[in-house]
Structure 1
Amino acid sequence: MRRKAITIIFAIVLIALMSPGVHAQRLKVRNLPAYDLAPYHFGFILGMNQMLFSIRTTPGFQNVTYSSLQTPDLYSDSARLLGLEHKPAFGFTIGIVSNLRLAESFDLRFVPSLSFGERDLEYSIITNFEGERDQILVNKKMQSTFVEFPLHIKYKGSRLNNVRPYWLAGAKYAIDLASDSKKKEENNNIYVALNRSDLYGELGAGFDFYTTFFKFGIELKMSYGLSDILKREGNIYTGAVDRLNSKLFLLSFTFE
């Protein structure tokens, strides 16, 4: 449901940006009329994010049997994986905006940020212990603290009164400070580890609102990781995954 809600919001923003009805508004006094003529300006962002995974499983993974050495936290003689799902959660993002004017309709933006969030992987497993079979759910939590370095080209539509739509496209390099493949196992608990760094492609859209003293923006952006980020440990939690990519939706508010 959360993924559907984000998709619906994203579609509404795009439709609103392209709607011809916006041009029917009456003209008003323009705030900050020379703002977009400045060669550069700065600001900050506050946002709410949703971190997700894109999972591609290995064909025939349900037929693979794992020994007790590969499943020490299940207390079973053997186990098989039936299914794997990801559970997204909401987090928050803060960042600093640096904007360079390239042309009338184009800007170059660098927005170093910190993003905090959590993603879970939920495993459906059949265990076999001393001849008795049981089906259980195992949840592996992965908290992330990303240091992000995004670089975007911003295309600005025509300004109408004190509102201006825009679109973004670019990429970012991100480092997950909370990811650690060398975590020690405690009480036979297996940690699912992720790679620390990744490169993302990004697309977004939003509106800039010109107030009396500053420019306020609302932006919706999607980031898709280009690398397989899962650390393979040869256990039931990583053996069934052929590829694991990171995704991020960000609804942010900019103050410039």
Structure 2
Amino acid sequence: MQNTHFWNKLYLHRLQVVFTGILLLNCVAGHAQVKHRVQKNNPNYDDKKLTYGFLIGLHTSTYQLKYSDAFVTNKFDTVHSVVPSWSAGFSLGFIVNYRLDDQVDVRITPKVGFYEHRISYIYTDDTPRDDQLIESTMVELPILLKYKSERRGNVRMYMIGGIVPAFEASGKKKTEERVLEISNTNLSIDAGFGFDLYYPLFKFSPEIRFSRGLVNMLGSSTGKYGEPLKRINTNTITLYFLFQ
């Protein structure tokens, strides 16, 4: 029941983020397609075995919650629902790309991500709505496989996916009992697509990627914030700008 409530509330927001990212990628790729007939930039770039670069990511992220059995007991009969919301953030990192063949690359992109997650506890009595803000700085090491189409002029489309281990790097301690305790490690699976746009001196790649957490991020199932919950997973949509 809680999953249905969660997706219904955030469905339109997610669609706006996805459609905006796709529209941006298509506009950039379309512009490059028009220009590719003029000249072929950096024609030997894809012959390199090892290439490097950096990336900037703009993301929106939320938690997906699963209630525990305790949620339906008398102890929490005044708790109407626990509702997560989407919050913006960004990430910075480096690119190490190894070419396996003309269409497949292995890519490692170590990066630092800055996240905010908001969870609201809504009550049925006169207790005011309780908003919890969880801030985290995560060191992430995506290990990705990139599958590329044939290059057409100065444009090449690709699909990308892999796993992303991550751990908390901010060193914050949960000193306040009122704060929901979250685990400092995560493992997610990523999938997305993008376009390689070739310029005379570099390659620029706008990319949209979807991330689904596989690890239960609930650090403690005790206390008035943790006990109603059984599981917390991360969901993230990221628009990347990669320069190589």
Distance 1:169 1:12, change over 3 A: same
**Mapped pair 1:102 → 2:100:** yes
Instruction: Provide the alpha-carbon RMSD of the alignment.
Output: 2.5
Residue 88 of structure 1, aligned match among 83, 86, 89: 86
Find the counterpart in structure 2 of residue 43 from structure 1: 53
CA–CA distance in structure 2, aligned partners of residues 106 and 64 of structure 1: 56
Whole-Å separation in 1 of the counterparts to 2:36 and 2:46: 22
Instruction: Give the Cα–Cα distance (whole angstroms) in 1 for the partners of residues 97 and 62 of structure 2.
Output: 28
- Kindly, what percent of the aligned residue pairs are identical? 27
Shift, 1:205, TM fit: 0.4
Matched residue SS, 1:134:
coil
CA deviation map 1:195-244 (0-9, x unaligned): 11111111010011101110001000111110111022422211221211
Structure 1 match to 2:42: 32
Does residue 4 of structure 2 align to residue 6 of structure 1?
A: no
Distance 1:146 1:80 in 2: 34
- Consecutive unaligned residues of structure 1, counting only runs of 5 or more, are 67-78, 127-132
More helix by share: 2
Among candidates 222, 242, 248, match of residue 230 of structure 2 = 242
Matched residue type, 1:6: V
Aligned partners of 1:26 and 1:32: how far apart in 2? 12
Partner residue in 2 for 1:183: 174
Task: Pick from 137, 142, 150 the counterpart of residue 134 of structure 2.
Answer: 142
Conserved in 1, the CA contact under 8 Å of 2:181 and 2:226?
A: no
Which structure has greater strand proportion?
Answer: 1
Task: Look up the SS of the partner of 2:17 in the other structure.
Answer: helix
Letter in 2 for 1:218: P
How far apart, CA to CA, are the structure 2 residues paired with 1:184 and 1:138? 18
Which of the two has higher C-alpha Rg? 1
- For residues 91 and 205 of structure 1, the distance between their equivalents in structure 2, rounded to whole angstroms, comes to 20
Q: CA deviation at 1:62?
A: 4.2
* Alignment partners' CA distance in 2, 1:234 and 1:240: 8
Partner of 1:162: 154
- 2:211 matches 1:220: no
